[in-house]
Amino acid sequence: MSPEAGTTRARKRRLDPLVGTARNHLRAALELLPGAPVPAAEPPLLLVACSGGPDSLALAAVTAYFGRPRRDGTRAFRVGAVVVDHGLQPGSAAVAGRTRAQLEQLGLDPVQLRRVSVQAAGMGPEAAARTARYAALEAAAAELGAAAVLLGHTLDDQAEQVLLGLGRGSGTRSLAGMPARRGLFLRPFLELRRTDTEQLCRIEGLAPWHDPTNTDPAYLRSRVRTRVLPFLEEELGPGVARALWRSARILRADADYLDSLASAEYARLRSASAEGIELDRAGLAGLPDAMRHRVIALAAAEMGGENPSYERLLAAEALLRRQGSAGPVQLAGKVSVYRRVRTQRVPQDARGYGNLVFRTTGQPADH
């Protein structure tokens, strides 16, 4: 055996276990992608959403491996990236430029840099930045014909998300955290810790940017990250973050199952009316609480509303008892719901009395 061959084999044996683990997580995430209906002329494109931070930069380095030519000269994927500059901090353009240079050195192509304008009207700065960022990522994916956009969220991000949901008093869907896949978006690193992505950057010789807002106590998520989770780990013992991540996985499976049942019930109880959408009173009243709340939320969503709070769901549900006001009850997103009473026109068989009617706010009820 030649010295060169021996050196090559030794180099292959020295693959860092963490790199191998990260590649396996990404490989499993890519299996969530639907297969192409017809063979493509070129390999599908993966876009990494990269801020320059340790999580997304490590993800870019790991994803680059899947864009390398195989022994037969073909490639399973093309790998590119999108760097979104929110323009919210001094020097953000320089950070975006350095990030783009590192991505190109990793072999990613194309690498797009998109500058966005963050409009915070009606929402907090974090939500406004998130909205602008996802819009830019979706636009880039559509323009480039990407098969998926990869996001660098980690197990720690998931734990923080669950704690934020608990603090808001949210339901099962919110406590289920971030999904591994939603539409074009994949999160391959949800089982890796933030310390893992920092180590991956060191292994790859990358220089990540550390966003100062991640430790700024002015932001709720930053306080959860720097104060709440460390306190829980200290008081309850190590493993709290992983336990929260595990709870999110369990709750996601439960939420998916309940949502599928609710969709079937909604289709059974829903009918169109002149005002908007109508739900059958008797059928709705006969559902378990968890199912009834989901069906009401589905009606609000179809009318263009937001997910109602628990308090608003209870108020809408109370209309079914025929006690007190028949409404309307205001739901989030300019949607209201009222109970049809006997002074209103209903079909000749009178089965519509007591039904819940959902309409857009400002549309007059049919009294």
Residue list for the binding site for ATP: 51-56
Mapped onto helix, strand or coil, the DSSP state of residue 272 is: strand
Q: Which two tokens stand for residue 25?
A: 């997580």
Binding site per annotation, positions: 51-56
Closest CA to 92 of 114, 110, 107, 108: 114
The Cβ of residue 109 has, within 10 Å, a number of other Cβ atoms equal to 13
Tell how far CA 336 is from the center of its chain: 27
Residue pair 36/198 in contact by the 8 Å Cβ criterion? no
> Residue 46: what are its φ and ψ, rounded to 5°?
-105, 130
Q: Which residues of 42-69 are buried (b: 16+ CB within 10 A; e: fewer)?
A: eebbbbbbbbbbbbbbbbbbbbbbbbee
Instruction: Count how many residues are written for the chain.
Output: 367
| Beta carbons of 132 and 66 less than 8 angstroms apart | no
Backbone φ, ψ for residue 153 (5° rounding): -65, 140
CA distance 342 to 57: 63
Query: Strand order in 329-331's β-sheet?
Result: 270-272, 277-279, 356-360, 335-339, 329-331
* Rounded Cα distance, 124 and 212, in Å: 18
Return the closest-CA partner of residue 186 out of 39, 27, 64: 27
